[in-house]
Structure 1
Amino acid sequence: MNRFVVISGCSGGGKSTLLSELNRRGYQVIEEPGRRIVQEERKSGGNALPWINPKAFARRTIEMALSDRKEVSATDSWVFFDRGLVDAATALEHLTATPVLDELAQHHPYHSQVFLTPPWQEIYSQDTDRKHDFSEATAEYSRLVEAYSLLGYKIFLIPKNNVVERAEFVIRSLET
């Protein structure tokens, strides 16, 4: 059984907070590739940033998502990914109309259950690394729902409640 679980969904929907709670409970968590790339690019003066060169950013995100999977490939425990390969490939397809999603997803599957944070305007906020607005985040969310559905994943919408209850929802769902 595939132990790689994706937590995806709308930007600013509480993914990172949820993943911090799962990590606090002892689960391995892989940080979002996009956030790490933004930090690296800012530090190096690079331009593979989503607001400067979104195609280069999406390609780097795919590379990092593949590398993340490889690094934890031998584990037999649950590993939670803050976004992942499907998210990156969906973004690249959206930007370039180049079909990459099916092939990448076929060769690098995640657990059949995917957890999505729905749009949650009450907690959404922009920051120095998240420059897009809520409407852009919602459009991205719609693309992700479609992509995960087309790939045959069973989508679980994470309820809009406190982080402890959200973590319990994820763990209970995986145990069934």
Structure 2
Amino acid sequence: MNKFILISGCSGGGKSSVVSELGSKGYKTVEEPGRRIVQEELAKGGRALPWVDAAAFAYRAIDMARADLTLVSESSGFTFFDRGLVDAAIALESCSGLKAKETLGKFRQYNQQVFLVPPWPEIYVCDAERRHGYDDAVEEFERIRAALPALGYDVNLLPKVGIGARADFIISTLRTSQVLQE
């Protein structure tokens, strides 16, 4: 049973907040590759930014997500990922045409149960690291939602409720599907 749980979905929909909440409950977590890349690129004046060179950004996200998977591969227990390799492969397909399936290979890197954060305009905000608008975030969500089942993942749509309730929903869903046993 794969112990890596992917939280994916709409930019600005609350992924990082729910992953942080899971971390506060004692679970291992991995920060979103995209945010880390944007911070690094902005700090050094780089060009691997989604609004400058989307393909370079996606390739960096793929490399970082693979490194993240390697870093936690020997960990015991479950690890929750704020985005990851699948998101990066879908982004690369969107901007280059290279099929996500080819980028990912034939093995599923994360547990079959994936949690998808829907668009939520009431909490969406732009900032220095998220420069695209809400409509772009919705388009991104639709791409991810269509791609995940085709890549062999079961999608669990997170409800639009508070952060604690979202984390509880994830844990409850994993227990119900017998992925998580505590």
TM-score category by the smaller chain?
Answer: over 0.9
Partner residue in 2 for 1:34: 34
Task: Provide the TM-score with structure 1 as the length reference.
Answer: 0.96
Q: Which residue of 1 aligns with 2:157?
A: 157
Aligned residues, how many? 176
Tell me the equivalent position of 1:57: 57
**Equivalent-residue separation in structure 1 for 2:13 and 2:54 (angstroms):** 21
Q: 2:18 matched to 1:25? A: no
SS in structure 2 of the partner of residue 106 of structure 1: coil
Percent identity of the aligned residues? 51
- Which structure 2 residue ranges, 5 or more long, are not aligned? 177-182
Give the match's secondary structure for 1:128.
coil
Confirm or deny: 8 A CA contact 2:3 2:110 kept in the other structure.
Answer: yes
Q: Distance in 2 between matches of 1:125 and 1:101?
A: 31
Give the letter aligned to residue 112 of structure 2.
Answer: S
CA distance in 1, matches of 2:38, 2:86: 19
How many angstroms apart in 1 are the aligned matches of 2:93 and 2:163? 32
Displacement of 1:105: 4.9
Letter in 2 for 1:130: R
Q: Distance in 2 between matches of 1:148 and 1:103?
A: 14
Quote the Cα distance in structure 2 between the aligned partners of 1:166 and 1:67: 27
Summarize deviations over 1:89-112 as a string: whole Å, max 9, x none: 001011011224345152352101
8 Å contact 2:89–2:103 — kept in the other structure? no
Whole-Å separation in 1 of the counterparts to 2:105 and 2:80: 17
Q: Aligned partners of 1:168 and 1:106: how far apart in 2?
A: 31
Q: Is the 8 A contact 1:86 1:101 kept in 2?
A: no
3-state DSSP of counterpart to 2:159: coil
Give unpaired runs (5+ residues) of structure 1. Answer: none
Structure-2 change in CA distance of 1:90 and 1:113 (3 Å): same
Once the two structures are TM-superposed, the CA of residue 57 in structure 1 deviates from its matched residue by 0.4
Structure 1 contact 85–104 (Cα < 8 Å) conserved: yes
Counterpart position of 1:119: 119
Q: Take 1:70 and 1:93, find their aligned partners in 2: how far apart are those partners? A: 23
Counterpart position of 1:89: 89
Question: Partner amino acid for 2:127?
Answer: D
SS of the equivalent of 2:141 reads helix
Q: Which amino acid aligns with 2:153?
A: Y
> For residue 129 of structure 1, what is the amino acid of its counterpart?
E
Separation (CA, whole Å) in 2 of partners of 1:160 and 1:105: 33
Which residue is 1:132 aligned to?
132
CA contact (8 A) 1:86 1:105 kept: no
In the other structure, the counterpart of 2:169 is 169
Residues 105 and 132 (structure 1 numbering): CA distance in 2 closer, same or farther, change over 3 Å? farther
**Which letter does structure 1 place at the counterpart of 2:149?**
S
- Is the contact made by 1:102 and 1:151 (CA closer than 8 Å) also made in structure 2? no
Normalised to the residue count of structure 2, the TM-score between the two structures is 0.93
